[in-house]
Each structure stands twice: as C-alpha cells, then as structure tokens.
Chains A and B, each alone.
Chain A
C-alpha cells in the first residue's frame, strides 16, 4: 500500500504521515502542519503518528477513529454514569416485595412517575439491553484506543535518540541555556542524576537522562485489566461457569441441593439464631436499649453435605455418602467441590406438627372425644377412632390467609397452617365441616355439634441457604488486580526526561515529564546544584507573564 511519508530536513529520517516530531532527531515537523513556532510542543506520544489522527478514508478508519476518540470515550462513560444514577431514583425490581405485581407496585407507590419509570424499563435498568450495550461500547473503545495509542507510544519510547534537535529542546516546557560547560560539570551532573536514579543514555556527548518510563504503560495495563474484567462478566452466561440457586432446609431434614444434577444433598442438623441480649458487654447497653426490636447477633446452620454415589438408574434409592460437615455462618460459607453454601435466610418456629382434640361444642370442660396429631410434612388424611368417630382432613393450607373470604396459602411452608376438617360422628354419613387454624376455629354453618381445638404443636427452624458456584470470580479478580497494578503504575510514578545538548557556546538543557511539573522542576533544581548551569525555567509561565505585561 502506498504510504505518504515526511522526510526530516535536518537528519533525513523518513517519518510516517502524521508524525509531528521527527522520530530520530526530534525536530518539529510542524513547519508542514503550520503550528506556531513559539508554542510548546505537544509531547503526547512523543509526536509519533497515531493511526486515528492520520487516516480517515475507509469505513474501517471511520469506525476506528470513532472508538479511539477520547471525546467519544468520555461521552460513553458520562452516559453510563447518568444512566446508573437514574437507576437509583426508585428501587430496582429485585428490591421490591416479591409477592406483588411489579407494575402495580410502581404505580401505587410512586404514582405517575413510578408508572413511567416502569414503562421505560428503568425498574430493571442494569440488565437492560441498552445499558449492557453501553458498557460493551466502553469496552470496545478501551480496546481500540489502547492499540491506537499504545503501538506508536511503544515505538517512540523504545527508539529514543539522546541527541535531539535544538528546535525540539527550545520548545520544551522546562528549558535552560548556559554559557559554560566542562568535564567537571558533566561529572557532577552525572553524579547528581544517578543519585536521583536516572538512567543515562549518551550519544556524541549528548545526554538523555530518563526515569519512570514504565509509568507510561500504566494506562495500557489498567485498560487491559478492565477488558479482562468485562470479558469475565460475559462468562457468567456460560452455564458451566456460574450457578446460583436457593434451598430451604428444615431442622432434621436432608434435601437434594438444586442445580447439582441431583448429586449433592444437604442436611440441616440444627439452626441457631442469637440476638444481642441483656447480658451483653456494658458498652452496647445504651444502643441495645435505644433499638426497638432485638438486634441479631449470630445465624448459623450446622450442616452435613452428602454426595449421591448411586449409579443414577431411575428409581434407584440415592446412596448418600457424607463428604463434609460444618457450620454455615454469615460471612463464612461452607465450600465443597467448587460450590459454596451461604447462610442467606431463615424462618424460625416453622410448625412441624400440630395436635388437636375433638369435643362437643356444648361441653364447657371441652373433654376430648378423640385426639390426633398431624405431621405437617406428610399430613395423614384419615383418622378413625375406636369410639366410632372418624375425622377426615379435607384441605390443608400451610401458610394460610384470607383472600376475600376464601382461605388460600401464600407459600408451601407451614408458617401459619389452616385446616378444613370433616367430622363424622358414629354412624353418620353427612360430615360436619370445621375450619381450624392458630387461634381460630370457624364453624361455617354455626350449628356444629362438635368442635376441633388445637392442644399442642411442635416447631422447628428452617434455614435458607443459597448455593453459588462462580468460576468467573478468578477472571474478575485477575482483571481487577491488573487494573490496580496499572493505575498505581501510571498514577504513582511519572515519566521524567532531561536532555543535555552541548553546543559550541555551552549547553542547552530541556526537561519533560508526563505529569506533576512542580516536583519535576524541584528535582531538576537539585540536579543542577554544584554546577554553574542556569536555573531551569518554565517557558509556559514565562510566556504567560510576557502576555500579562504587554
């Protein structure tokens, strides 16, 4: 392909089109680009040709240039910032109560605004297609810009010529020109430079003192970390990499852990909950008193994990082998074979069984005619008694509530059980219907001869465990780690260079740093001590003073 080039008229080096500063001797090539001779040089990427600033012909060039523009990059980040903020105006859908219709919730709670918010999809903003595309565009932009700038920067920094054209030096921000310069002074300078840990490159008596070059790679390293991180989040969509499920286990129960292909089982031996109490350390006394409810102190499930060793033939009983036993505590998940079980929820005093007795409605002593017990895990339907009475369990509502007069169950967990019983007295065909629940005993017809009363119950705790397997975590961790290395590298170190250019009359010194000029200037002052070099001047400030004086 035909490439335009620029030949340097000072050293003859052939530079790529778009080069601002000759790659070999550093002579500014802007007599061609027509920049003002007296302004300071733009030292970004040392004046090498950056693809996006040079080529704009094909459609690929245009896309490339779009993504490598800092303006576009910043705009994308600002858009992500604003949309993220919008998502916090109202709670996201995952934070509203689970048992209500989302649309109704937003409308009833937040009125018209809530309705519009819902209809625009802002209730699920962070998983919306456009938010994800926005983040993806930022990722693409980071990738392209890093190649666009990184390659030329690499070339410029690895081939530095210590001998620079005076036109280059005179247009650096830090500059000094001195009449005298001899071997003794050079010795002193080299000594001072080494003391400040500069690397020295020399060519024909010209010196380049440089330090912190690696800091220039900071942005590229941190951008790489960001890209790895973003790729890592994509892996979550690979089924093998990521599992997220939830299971309730009651005390004494062993249940299969979902999402493990029926392979693992968990047993809840005991669930423990502790609150901060009266006997707590004295320092907390005031806080505990001021709090209205109890303050939770500790949740723990004592669990056993089993693996099913059976050969997986349909109908075969699972053959459970204990593989792990331990406590699941908040902040301390139980780990096994790549999975983690977290203490995530609990339900105290869930009913295990309930005992009832049957008595005559008119009997003030409520003497039992019959007694029976219902196991709520596995309720029996029929109870026949020696004295001829029979009771049938018609309906069982584990978690009952009244929906417009009709009993219904909110969940399958026995938190508030309700029962409809059919009572058959001896030799009767027609049953009496009776409804019983905690503290309730409803007689639908109001002329029942018999009544069913609760006599006793057993409770137990249930523990809600969430199951996680996340093989994307190492990738995310790696990305975050590389990102941190990169920002620290780029932010806590600076790339400083000083050029020493002997002339027939003495010496010219010029300095450049990519950031933090004050520290650099102080350092140059220290490097000049013990020599007769003219103190280094900041040309930018001088030109400002000139302007303000004129």
Chain B
C-alpha cells in the first residue's frame, strides 16, 4: 500500500512538470508570428501536452484514492491539489469552446502555483472521522471544486482582459489594483518558498505561552518574526521574535499563522520589487504588448461564459449537495457555519454578477473586475476561512 502512495506522488510530480512544459508551449503559440498552419500545430502540441499532464494528475488522484480507501479530498493538501486539477479541466472545457491559447498561458501557471501551495501542507494520508464518512462528502467536495475552478477561469479571463485593456500610459486606480492582484500571486510564491525552504532545512523552534489559563506550546516551522503573546522560546540557539503578537489574536495558532502571512507578504514584495526593477515598468504594462492580438470582446465573453457554466455547478455542489450532506451528518441542512455562509456569499456574488451583465454598461472592464473579486471571495473561503475563522470553533 505504501508503494501505491509513493507511486501516486510520482504521478503528481510528473503532472507538475508536464504542466510546466505546456506553459512554455503555450507561450510559444503567443510569440509565434509564423504561418497559421504552424500556429495550429503549436496550439495542438500545447493543449495535447496539457491533456497528458491532466491524465497524469488523474492517475495521482485514482491511485491515492485506492491507497487511502476514500477519495483524496479530505485535507487541505488533497483539496487544493484537486482544485488545481479541476482548474486544468475547466481550462480544457473552455479551451475547446473558444480555442484561445492565451487562456492556457495564464491558467497553467496558476494551476502550478496551486499544486505548489498545496504541497506545503501535511501530505500524509489521513483517516476519516465519522462525520466525513459519506458518499456525499466526495460528491459535494468534487462538484464544489469543479464549480469553483470554472468560476476561476472567469477570473483568469478577467485578468487577461484587464492587462490587455487597462490604460498603462498613466498611473490610475485601475493600474494600481491590477498590480496588487499580480502582487498577491507573488505573495503566494513567497509562501511556497519560505515554507519549503525552511522545511528543507528542518527548521523548528518551540514556544510556550499562556492560553486561557493554560500553558500551550506551539512549534514554528519558519523563523518567528512574530512570536506568540507573552511567549517563551524553548530553543536558545534560534532567532528570537522581533515582536510579539497582540493579545487580541484568538486561537492557539494565531500568532504562527500571522507570522507565516507576514513572511509570505514580505518575500512576495521582495520578489515583486526585483521583477519590477528588472522590467522598469509596471508588470501589467510589460505583459500588455504580448496581448495585443487578443480580441477583448472574445475574452470578455469567455469571462462571462465561465460564470454561466460555473454558477450552476457551484450552486449544485456548494449549496445543494452540501445541504444534503449536512442533513445526513449533522441533521441540519444549514447551520450558518462560516464556511457555509461564505458559500452563500459566493452564490449571492455571482448572482449579482449575472444580473449586472443584463445591462450593457457592465460588460468589459467592470465585469472583469467583478470576476477578480469573485475569485478573491472563493480563495478567501478556501484558505482564510479554513485557516482563520473556522479555527475559532470546532467543526463536528
């Protein structure tokens, strides 16, 4: 069985590298100004490679399922990896409707980033607690992430639209926000880097600190810029924290999470600055020339179409299947748990998106921004609610 798990990880690594190659191939289709026939071949090669990568990731998924005896969507590593896979699937879906290579060039790096992000979390196969032992778990989780992945394509199309269309000759609110969106991608890279580098070095330092009348200990896997409130470090040779977390932060791991966040943001900022200094331009402004040949109206339609396709899938998985499962497991189909509420918020948000699209004034740039906000809400639910809000009370 252990062999199957390692075989499964191999498939995931292979998928990762194939996606990397596919990204390069998609880049080639954009730069390629040669004959149409040539470009057709390049596109086919790029999308074919993507499919091979997807199949490899699918094999990862299946072998891990066999090894664990349950669908591998039950911890953060598995879920985010699966989300990355669904993102590639959603891309293929829209690619075969619109055949826009640019979409691949932007989607695959984000899928890569997601898989890298996932791999930072504990990767072992976990057994299921009783409330998770239900077929509805798989049905619910897989449809939600498929829905969210299709909605994420609308974010990617929106991003392409904005980079293509926002006037970069002067600095404006739009250019600033666009840079902020790009910066968050750098911050994610920062997170992956800092976590994996220190994990590779085997870094660890332990703190003891008072918590609700008890003494708790917490282990940092990256150096503490921020230590727990009134914390005492147990390992002398390690760097001591620069500041202590404020006392209002709740939760045993709050200071640790804040520390990781600050590290990621700082590192992301440094990376961003380096790239920006090399380019000597806003990053969006440097990408813009490569997108000149893209048809903005087509991109806008993809942005809308992804919502049109993703919204029903998300509703089915995130609200309806979720409710059926909650009814079976906790005898209430709806409990106003933060995770549920944020799924409802996502639903409301995309309903607003669809209604605004009914009037002409909301096409183009405005709806591209909405798609960006929608993705921010999804990511908030996926990451922040899991790590921060839901940690305040126990589930099940």
Given known pairs A331-B131, A331-B328, A519-B97, the reply for A473 and B309 (CB within 8 Å) is no
A interface SS class:
helix
Residue on A nearest B297 in the bound complex, by CB: A541
Complex CA–CA separation, A531 to B283 (angstroms): 48
Complex CA–CA separation, A228 to B309 (angstroms): 24
Complex CA–CA separation, A299 to B129 (angstroms): 10
Residue on B nearest A92 in the bound complex, by CB: B336
Q: 9 pairs across A/B with beta carbons < 8 Å?
A: A74-B355, A81-B348, A88-B338, A88-B341, A88-B389, A284-B126, A492-B309, A516-B301, A517-B297
8 Å CB contact of B341 from A84, A344, A484, A491:
A84
B345→A85 contact, CB < 8 A: yes
Q: How far in angstroms is the closest Cβ of chain A from B37?
A: 20
Complex CA–CA separation, A175 to B108 (angstroms): 38
Complex CA–CA separation, A402 to B337 (angstroms): 34
A287→B352 contact, CB < 8 A: no
| Contact stretch, chosen from A206-214, A288-296, A365-373 | A288-296
8 Å CB contact of A331 from B134, B304, B316, B345:
B134
A487→B311 contact, CB < 8 A: yes
Residue on B nearest A331 in the bound complex, by CB: B134
B298→A331 contact, CB < 8 A: no
Q: Which residues on A sit within 8 Å (CB–CB) of B316?
A: 484
Residue on A nearest B248 in the bound complex, by CB: A111
Complex CA–CA separation, A296 to B128 (angstroms): 8
A130 touches B (CB below 8 Å): no
B48 touches A (CB below 8 Å): no
B271 touches A (CB below 8 Å): no
B125→A284 contact, CB < 8 A: yes
B124 touches A (CB below 8 Å): yes
B379 touches A (CB below 8 Å): no
A269 touches B (CB below 8 Å): no
A527 touches B (CB below 8 Å): no
Residue on B nearest A233 in the bound complex, by CB: B334
A480 touches B (CB below 8 Å): yes
Chain A to chain B: the 10 pairs with minimum beta-carbon distance, closest first: A330-B130, A342-B331, A286-B124, A81-B348, A88-B338, A287-B126, A487-B312, A331-B134, A287-B124, A95-B393
A515→B308 contact, CB < 8 A: yes
Per-residue contact bits, chain B 326-346, to A (CB 8 Å; 1 contact, 0 not)? 011111010111100110110
Given known pairs A88-B389, A290-B124, A473-B333, the reply for A282 and B1 (CB within 8 Å) is yes
Spell out B's residues near A (CB within 8 Å): 1-2, 5, 67-69, 97-98, 122, 124-127, 129-131, 133-134, 248, 250, 297-298, 301, 304-305, 308-309, 311-312, 315-316, 319-320, 323, 327-331, 333, 335-338, 341-342, 344-345, 348-349, 351-352, 355-356, 358-359, 385, 389, 392-393
B359→A126 contact, CB < 8 A: no
B338→A284 contact, CB < 8 A: no
A283→B345 contact, CB < 8 A: no
Residue on B nearest A329 in the bound complex, by CB: B130
Among A80, A281, A283, max chain B CB count under 10 A is at: A283
B133→A330 contact, CB < 8 A: yes
Complex CA–CA separation, A81 to B308 (angstroms): 20
B127→A480 contact, CB < 8 A: no
- Size band of the interface chain A makes with B: 35 or more
Complex CA–CA separation, A282 to B124 (angstroms): 11
Q: Given A91-B393, A468-B331, A518-B297, 12 other A-B contacts at CB below 8 A?
A: A84-B348, A85-B345, A87-B336, A94-B336, A95-B392, A282-B2, A330-B131, A344-B330, A476-B333, A484-B312, A491-B309, A541-B297
A81→B345 contact, CB < 8 A: yes
Residue on B nearest A86 in the bound complex, by CB: B341
A24 touches B (CB below 8 Å): no
Complex CA–CA separation, A541 to B298 (angstroms): 11
Q: Which residues on A sit within 8 Å (CB–CB) of B393?
A: 91, 95-96
Q: Which residues on B sit within 8 Å (CB–CB) of A518?
A: 98, 297-298, 301
Complex CA–CA separation, A344 to B326 (angstroms): 12
Interface residues of A in 260-298 (CB under 8 A from B): 276, 280-284, 286-288, 290, 295-298
Complex CA–CA separation, A332 to B308 (angstroms): 36
A302 touches B (CB below 8 Å): no
A140 touches B (CB below 8 Å): no
A386 touches B (CB below 8 Å): no
8 Å CB contact of A299 from B130, B298, B330:
B130
Q: Which residues on A sit within 8 Å (CB–CB) of B5?
A: 283
Q: Which residues on A sit within 8 Å (CB–CB) of B337?
A: 95
Interface residues of A in 436-482 (CB under 8 A from B): 466, 468, 473, 476, 480
Residue on A nearest B125 in the bound complex, by CB: A283
Interface residues of A in 79-115 (CB under 8 A from B): 80-81, 84-85, 87-88, 91-92, 94-96, 109-111
A288→B127 contact, CB < 8 A: yes
Residue on A nearest B302 in the bound complex, by CB: A518
Given known pairs A77-B352, A110-B248, the reply for A91 and B67 (CB within 8 Å) is no
8 Å CB contact of A344 from B331, B348, B352, B356:
B331
Complex CA–CA separation, A340 to B329 (angstroms): 12
Q: Which residues on B sit within 8 Å (CB–CB) of A480?
A: 319-320, 323
